Amino acid sequence: MSERIPVRTLESATPVKTVEPSRPKMKAKSSDNLIHTRSFTGLFRSLRISGAGVLFLLFFGTVWLNWGGRQAVLWDLSESKFHIFGATFWPQDFILLSALLIIAAFGLFAITVFAGRVWCGYTCPQSSWTWIFMWCEKITEGERNQRIKLQAAPWGVNKLMRRSAKHTLWLAISLLTGLTFVGYFTPIRPLAEELLTLQLSGVSLFWVLFFTGATYINAGWLREAVCMHMCPYARFQSVMFDKDTLTISYDVARGENRGPRKREVKPAEVGLGDCIDCQVCVQVCPTGIDIRDGLQMECIGCAACIDACDSIMDRMSYERGLIRYTSERELQGGKTHLLRPRLLGYTAVLLVMIAALVIALIERPMVSLDVSKDRGLFRENSQGQIENIYSLKVINKTQQRQDYHLTLVDSEGFQLQGKTELSLAPGEIVDVPVSVAMTTQQPSSSSQSIGFKVIDSDEPGVFSVANSRFVAPMNR
């Protein structure tokens, strides 16, 4: 029996009274304990296919785009920089990646409070790739009943050929997925050429095979086990739901009592509800649960049961919506409150963080400056002045050659010595050794703060500042 979220713990779970069906209940799993889903059509399936199609197009297509003579999206690990079309990000910009991850988390919180696990059912990579693998299973081994019979049949030519075709498709999709994923970190074109010519080796080969195997195992073999036992999202969803969260629910008041009947018989005449106990909602569920048992942890919100039930309601000439997106409050006769404090709070924080990220991207300096002080404390030059040695790392973050000028800022009594005029190619990094001499006779402290500044010679508004320490003897 599937593990269910306790009704008292999760407010949005609605108690369902138990009704013994008038005929033996069909199982979601076959005798081999595998879930064999049934084919179906419907609005939510079309939405899921459309959404997944866009995501697959972005994932598999973006990696092949070029921009300015290089791969448009590439996390170049060897050069420690990340290209996104016309922008280049460096390790110093990783704080922006952290902000992006936090935004994604709050976005997930907000959508969960509003409509439950729609992320899992529509856009989660595990769900999307599992649906593709299930489609491969359908075209190679047949519909649900055929797959159950094939699973129980002894090994023969027919079973061997069908299974071989299925696993060949699975491996092909997995290999393409692994190659594409690694292609975002290593240029995809030479990577694909080396793979096709069997010259791929070393680290790249390892990661391509690793992600190929991970995709093949997760989407082909583990499937719903990943959602039920490995994904933490299912575990903390009860904290996110409330009485107004839109979840996929069975309308108990309308559906009970369950039972089969002829199409022309009205349910009220035989003391039955609208549910004819056909089990189709169970047979289409990718996690093998019965939604009529109430909200369960294994439900990924894919709405397959809604499409299946609506098709049965159409055949019986009943109103759609026996299984639908609704809230606990609405099932109890109330009205769903879409705008509520928790949802508004998450949304407000999300919008503020998105605005902050946009501002940070706009204001991001296109030149970077890092300062490292020499290990030596200080030295005395030929003029009798105290000097400290520094190494300045300057990065041109633009896509054009730039000229820069180095100077000190807010450092009265100090003089910068060394190369101060620089010309950097697009994305170039240079280390500039410089020295700073103290022009005053007596320092105010043995360790003082000094500031270095690199300025774009053509655009003075583009600059970067970094601070360091100047060490000098107190008694001279």
Residue 307 region by backbone torsions, left for phi larger than 0, else alpha for psi between -120 and 50, else beta:
alpha
> Does position 22 have pLDDT exceeding 60, yes or no?
no
Supply the CATH number for residue 415's domain: 2.60.40.10
Residue 29, pLDDT score: 56
- pLDDT band at 233, cuts 50/70/90? confident
Q: Which residue among 170, 187, 222 closes a domain?
A: 222
Distance (Å, rounded) from C-alpha 433 to C-alpha 120? 53
pLDDT at 16 over 60: no
430 CB-near residues (< 8 Å, 6+ apart): 393, 394, 422, 424
Where in the sequence is the domain holding 374, given as residue range(s)?
367-471
pLDDT tens for each residue of 304-316: 999 999 999 999 9
Supply the mean pLDDT for the chain. Answer: 89
Work out the angle between the directed axes of helices 157-183 and 43-62 (0-180°, nearest 10). 60
Query: Percent of the chain scored above 70 by pLDDT?
Result: 92
Residues 29-54: tens digit of each pLDDT:
554 678 999 999 999 999 999 999 99
Give CA–CA dist 285/38, Å, rounded: 8
End-to-end CA separation in angstroms for the chain: 84
pLDDT of amino acid 141: 97
**Is pLDDT at 84 greater than 70 in this prediction?**
yes
Task: Return the SS3 of 258.
Answer: coil
Is residue 170 in a domain?
yes
Q: Give domain status of residue 247, yes or no.
A: no
- pLDDT tens-digit map of 86-134: 888 888 788 898 899 999 999 999 999 999 999 999 999 999 999 999 9
Q: Tell me: the pLDDT tens digits for 126-159? A: 999 999 999 999 999 999 999 999 999 999 999 9
Q: Which residue has the tokens 């002829």?
A: 262
In a domain, 269, yes or no: no
3-class state of residue 324 by DSSP? strand
Residue 257, preceding bond cis, omega within 30 degrees? yes
pLDDT band at 194; cut points 50, 70, 90: very high
Q: Please compute the mean of the pLDDT values over residues 162-168 and round it to a whole number.
A: 98
> How many domains are contained in the chain?
2
For tokens 């949005």, the residue is 12
Give the confidence band of 19 by pLDDT, cuts at 50, 70, 90: very low
Torsion of CA 233, 46, 65, 59, to 10 degrees: 20
* Structural domain contains residue 402: yes
User: What burial class does residue 327 get, using C-beta atoms within 10 Å of its C-beta: 0-12 exposed, 13-18 middle, 19+ buried?
Assistant: buried
Q: Assess if residue 316 is contained within a domain.
A: no
Distances (CA, A) of 102 to 346, 348, 475: 12, 14, 52
Residue 285: which residues within 8 A CB-CB, separation 6 or more? Answer: 28, 35, 37, 291, 304, 305
DSSP states of 260-302: ---TTS-GGGGT--S-----HHHHT-TT---GGG---TT----
Q: Please say which residue of 190, 222, 254 terminates a domain.
A: 222
For residues 70 and 187, what is the distance between their CA atoms, to the nearest angstrom? 9
Within a domain: 135: yes
Q: What is the pTM of this model?
A: 0.82
Whether pLDDT at 12 is above 60: no
Q: What is the pLDDT of residues 374-411, one digit of tens each?
A: 887 788 888 888 999 999 999 998 888 999 999 999 88
Task: Determine, yes or no, domain membership for 348.
Answer: no
pLDDT at 59 over 60: yes
pLDDT in tens, 411-450: 888 999 999 999 999 888 899 999 999 988 777 778 889 9
Q: Where a domain ends, among 193, 222, 251? A: 222
